[in-house]
């Protein structure tokens, strides 16, 4: 058996499969995604005043009282680092999780000492990816008083903005209603301008 007689068909198949799976298929999928879902295919970039300010898919680290705060990030060395996304993998009995939750509750209470409502769980626990851009409606409602006072707005004004930025369940069935923190904070910054 001659090796050159086997080498030629093997190289031909290799070249064809490389062209099919490495060039044609990715190009077709990219073209379909760009045609049907251009916003999602390009990272769901949010633009404000003509410049990109973030993605609708990745949270941002808001810490000032005048802004709504998102879920804590589990990424390091900086919060909401898309390149470091992974699960926190801390179980409910893990002392590190209990300590982190206690510290986060204390920070929320210190930022709004008059708020006696129970702290929503999504304000003190990270999501699976550590990048969640959204909070529950309860988490947004918990923060309305602090944000309104910090901005000199009335509670109804801020409530209307939260309601306008509340998204329902996915396809009306899955998950819970939610609020994208970046979009809500951008709306707050432009409110009354």
Angle at 70 between CA 68 and CA 71, to 5 degrees: 150
Q: Any idea what DSSP says for residue 170?
A: B
Phi, psi of 151 (to 5 degrees): -100, -5
How many angstroms separate the CA atoms of 53 and 43, rounded?
12
- Look at 3-12, 31-40, 118-127, 144-153 and tell me which has the smallest mean pLDDT: 3-12
Give yes or no for a contact between 59 and 73, defined as CB atoms under 8 angstroms apart: yes
Q: What is the pTM (predicted TM-score) of this model?
A: 0.80
Quick: pLDDT tens for 96-149.
889 989 999 999 999 999 999 999 999 998 887 888 899 999 999 999 999 999
- By CB atoms closer than 10 A (0-12, 13-18, 19+), residue 18 is exposed
Quick: pLDDT tens for 42-77.
888 888 888 888 888 888 889 999 999 999 888 877
Give yes or no for a contact between 58 and 70, defined as CB atoms under 8 angstroms apart: no
Q: Considering only the C-alpha atoms of the chain, give the largest distance between any 2 of them, rounded to a whole number of Å.
A: 87
Mean pLDDT of the chain: 89
> Residue 193 above 70 pLDDT?
no
pLDDT band for position 6 (cuts 50, 70, 90): confident
pLDDT of residue 171: 86
């Amino acid at each position: 058996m001659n090796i050159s007689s086997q080498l030629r068909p093997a190289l031909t198949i290799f070249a064809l499969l490389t062209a099919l799976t490495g060039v044609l298929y990715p190009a077709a999928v990219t073209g379909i995604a760009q045609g049907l879902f251009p916003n999602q295919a390009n990272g769901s970039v949010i633009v404000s005043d003509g410049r990109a300010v973030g993605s609708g898919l990745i949270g941002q680290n808001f810490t000032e009282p005048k802004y709504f705060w998102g879920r804590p990030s589990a990424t390091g060395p900086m919060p909401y680092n898309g390149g470091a996304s992974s699960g926190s993998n801390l179980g409910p009995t893990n002392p590190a999780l209990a300590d982190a939750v206690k510290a986060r509750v204390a920070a929320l209470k210190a930022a709004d000492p008059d708020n006696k409502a129970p702290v929503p769980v999504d304000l003190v626990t990270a999501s699976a990816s550590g990048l969640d851009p959204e909070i529950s409606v309860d988490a947004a409602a918990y923060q309305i008083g602090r944000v309104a006072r910090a901005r000199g707005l009335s509670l109804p004004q801020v409530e209307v903005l939260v309601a306008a930025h509340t998204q329902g369940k996915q396809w009306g069935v899955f998950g819970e209603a939610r609020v994208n923190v970046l979009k809500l904070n951008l709306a707050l910054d432009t409110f009354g301008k």
